[in-house]
Amino acid sequence: SYEQIGIAKSVLDEILIWLKEESICEVTIWNEQAIAVEPPNNIDVKVTETDPGLRGDTAQGGVKPAIVETGASIRVPLFIEEGEIIKVDTRTGEYLSRVK
């Protein structure tokens, strides 16, 4: 059967930046109330805002700030451009890889 429960915003505050539509999360329920929500360990997200890479940027090197489609701000390698899909670790907020 399908059950729908309400979850207090205070329970979601820290993970909202990692939730996408249709995300599958683990919910801890106690006394018929959701007390914790765990997002997936990593998610694929689109980079919506970042500075353009400069000529000579390589995979070995620095990082720059980027905003992804969920609104999260993360650090990405210099070669990542707007519109690319990347994998991010939701536990640490770290860039993991490009998604092919």
Mean pLDDT of 19-36: 90
- The residue type found at 12 is L
Is residue 89 pLDDT above 70, yes or no? Answer: yes
Cα 5 from Cα 36, distance rounded (Å)? 13
Domains and CATH numbers, the chain: 9-38 (no CATH), 42-98 (2.40.50.140)
For residues 56 and 99, is the Cβ–Cβ distance under 8 A?
no
Give pLDDT tens digits for 46-60.
999 999 876 665 556
Q: Which sign, positive or negative, has the C-alpha torsion 69, 82, 84, 42?
A: negative
* Residue among 5, 56, 61 at smallest CA distance from 31: 5
pTM (2 decimals)?
Answer: 0.81
Length of the chain: 100
